[in-house]
């Protein structure tokens, strides 16, 4: 068993942060290793001027990058894909050291990062090629639509999934011919810089993908003010401010924000199997995942057996700090996370909730460890009822009918992710169609949709704006441009007499197109 809380060589850390876009006399902030509370490394902090300088250099690099064309960008990105996989063990070490994840849950990020890199490298040309569209007057006119890169994209990423959430935005931006200025959270910067190295080594110009770190009000705002489009992943409160600031500059934004994600367990499930799958859906990465399940609604007919199996599975989880696959759950990432989780559980217990499993910190394992916690009897006056905990806490509620479960699942200001467990896929699809969420999984918690990089991902209601992944995730980073031409077959009317002569023929054309069911 590889046990440690600090598995990043300080010389490696120094080497990685060397290219961080920060002034040479910049202040530095300590980054803490969650497993031990030790200082992992000191991270230089960027300034607004650093962002401006990085943006200027990125715009120059973008001019050459877009001229390379799809084929050469594809070659470079596929090379980066291979380098990510070749360097995965060191990357996993860095990722675990910064986040406190288990080895397996860190691997999910590497898998996702490589998947999106391959996907956009291969698909960008086909999605963004110039296409003919039906002209307003067939034969007389010809119309084509092409796509122009936005230019410079801002990417603002959180600490919880620093690798996958970065590449899900950065790679399609690069594939579409853009440059990127990314603001990394301090706690995830080392992972991002390590992954970026694979792309630089593959041939991405260093200036094309700049990474900055620092205060959100100064550095984050400077990113929004410097770019042509911005991607933000984080809280609804902060994301709303980013969206407003972007709108003030008339630039687009995609925002993946908070969630209070429900799971419906219908009465035709195998309770044991459903419980095993549901546990992972709630406690992967210690629940520090925007699409993690925090609410379970189980029909009464299977409630007792499901709950018993669920609690037994939670009680059997192996928790600890290990850089191998010997643990099932790891640590919270920061003192702030521990404080938030503790506050939610303490509040719930004080107001009458029942703890079925967990419910306390584990300082014997490390400074930020908290037991996976299962609550029952959660009521609307408790903080964890409607507010996102973003930690290893789930509430189980017994409901009577399918309709009751759907109503409860939709009774939230959020609509990011949801899940339906059923013994019938057809029934699961029917229920899924009635849930107000951007992603709905059947007999899986979040990985079915999260891993489907060819399908759009995003939130409804207060959970966000826009979509990442799929062709939708690529089209964010380009402007559609229409070029239409006269074929010379017929001259369009220009004067009153010409309109009088041609109008009957044009009306006839409209009627023929309708009868032919032509667009």
Contact (CB, 8 A) for 257 and 236:
yes
Output the DSSP codes for 137-175.
Answer: SBTTEEEEEEEEE-SEEEEE--SSSTTHHHHHHHHHHHH
Active site residue 256: yes
User: 256, 371, 388, 402: which one is catalytic?
Assistant: 256
Residues 358, 351, 260, 365, Cα dihedral to 10°? -20
Cα Rg of the chain, angstroms: 26
Phi, psi dihedral angles at 244 (to 5 degrees): -65, -45
Q: Distance between CA atoms of 26 and 167, rounded to whole angstroms?
A: 27
* Residue 218: Cβ within 10 Å count: 16
Q: Distance between CA atoms of 77 and 81, rounded to whole angstroms?
A: 6
Both tokens assigned to 280? 């992972």
Residue 484 contacts by C-beta under 8 Å, 6 or more apart in sequence? 135, 136, 141, 142, 143, 144
Active site residue 282: no
Beta bridge partners of 357: 374
Q: Distance between CA atoms of 444 and 345, rounded to whole angstroms?
A: 26
Phi, psi dihedral angles at 47 (to 5 degrees): -120, 170
Q: Distance between CA atoms of 416 and 465, rounded to whole angstroms?
A: 10
Q: At what angle do helices 48-86 and 189-202 cross, to 10 degrees?
A: 70
Q: Distance between CA atoms of 84 and 89, rounded to whole angstroms?
A: 10
Q: Distance between CA atoms of 462 and 454, rounded to whole angstroms?
A: 24
Q: At what angle do helices 164-175 and 103-128 cross, to 10 degrees?
A: 20
Chain position carrying tokens 């199996």: 309
Both tokens assigned to 306? 């499901």
Chain position carrying tokens 């300034």: 47
User: 98, 109, 282, 290: which one is catalytic?
Assistant: 290
Measured CA to CA in angstroms, residue 442 lies from 10, 192, 293 at distances of: 44, 32, 13
Quick check: helix, strand or coil at residue 443?
A: coil
Q: Distance between CA atoms of 127 and 159, rounded to whole angstroms?
A: 31
User: What is the separation of C-alpha 476 from the centre of its chain, rounded to a whole number of angstroms?
Assistant: 14
Contact (CB, 8 A) for 89 and 143:
no
Its sign, for the CA torsion 233, 237, 243, 246, is negative
Q: Which of these, 395, 399, 295, 312, lies nearest to 355 by C-alpha position?
A: 395
Active site members: 256, 290
């Amino acid at each position: 068993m590889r046990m440690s809380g600090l598995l990043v060589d300080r010389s490696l850390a120094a080497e990685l942060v060397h290219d961080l876009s920060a002034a040479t006399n910049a202040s530095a902030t300590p980054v803490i290793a969650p497993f031990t509370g030790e200082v992992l490394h000191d991270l230089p902090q960027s300034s607004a001027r650093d962002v401006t300088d990085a943006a200027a250099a990125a715009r120059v690099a973008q001019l050459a990058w877009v001229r390379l064309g799809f084929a050469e960008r594809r070659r470079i990105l596929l090379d980066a894909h291979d380098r990510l996989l070749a360097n995965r063990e060191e990357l996993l070490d860095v990722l675990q050291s910064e986040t406190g994840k288990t080895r397996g849950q860190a691997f999910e990020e590497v898998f996702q990062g490589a998947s999106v890199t391959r996907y956009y490298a291969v698909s960008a040309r086909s999605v963004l090629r110039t296409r003919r569209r039906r002209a307003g007057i067939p034969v007389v006119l010809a119309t084509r639509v092409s796509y122009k890169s936005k230019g410079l994209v801002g990417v603002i990423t959180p600490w919880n999934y620093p690798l996958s959430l970065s590449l899900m935005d950065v790679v399609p931006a690069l594939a579409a011919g853009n440059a990127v200025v990314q603001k990394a959270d301090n706690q995830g910067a080392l992972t991002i810089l390590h992954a970026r190295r694979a792309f630089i080594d593959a041939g991405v110009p260093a200036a094309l993908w700049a990474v900055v770190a620092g205060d959100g009000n100064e550095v984050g705002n400077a990113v929004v003010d410097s770019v042509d489009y911005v991607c933000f992943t984080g809280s609804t409160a902060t994301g709303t401010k980013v969206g407003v600031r972007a709108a003030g500059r008339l630039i687009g934004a995609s925002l993946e924000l908070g969630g209070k994600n429900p799971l419906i367990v219908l009465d035709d499930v195998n309770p044991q199997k459903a419980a095993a799958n549901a546990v992972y859906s709630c406690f992967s990465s210690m629940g520090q995942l925007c699409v993690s399940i925090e609410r379970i609604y189980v029909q009464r007919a299977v409630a007792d057996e499901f709950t018993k199996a669920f609690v037994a599975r939670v009680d059997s989880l192996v928790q600890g700090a290990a850089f191998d696959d010997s643990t099932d759950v790891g640590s919270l990432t920061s003192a702030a996370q521990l404080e938030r989780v503790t506050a939610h559980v303490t509040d719930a217990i004080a107001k009458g909730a029942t703890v079925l499993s967990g419910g306390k910190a584990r300082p014997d394992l490390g400074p930020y460890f908290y037991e996976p916690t299962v609550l029952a009897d959660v009521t609307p006056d408790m903080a964890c009822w409607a507010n996102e905990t973003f930690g290893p806490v789930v509430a189980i509620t017994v409901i009577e009918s399918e309709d009751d479960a759907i109503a409860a699942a939709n009774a939230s200001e959020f609509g990011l992710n949801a899940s339906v467990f059923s013994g019938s896929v057809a029934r699961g699809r029917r229920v899924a169609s009635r849930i107000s969420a951007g992603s709905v999984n059947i007999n899986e918690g979040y990985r079915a949709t999260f891993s489907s990089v060819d399908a759009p991902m995003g939130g409804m209601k207060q959970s966000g704006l826009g979509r990442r992944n799929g062709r939708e995730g690529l089209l964010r980073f380009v402007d559609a441009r229409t070029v239409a031409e006269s074929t010379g077959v017929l001259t369009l009317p220009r004067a009153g007499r010409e309109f009088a002569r041609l109008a009957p023929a044009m009306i006839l054309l409209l009627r023929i197109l309708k009868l032919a069911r032509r667009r």
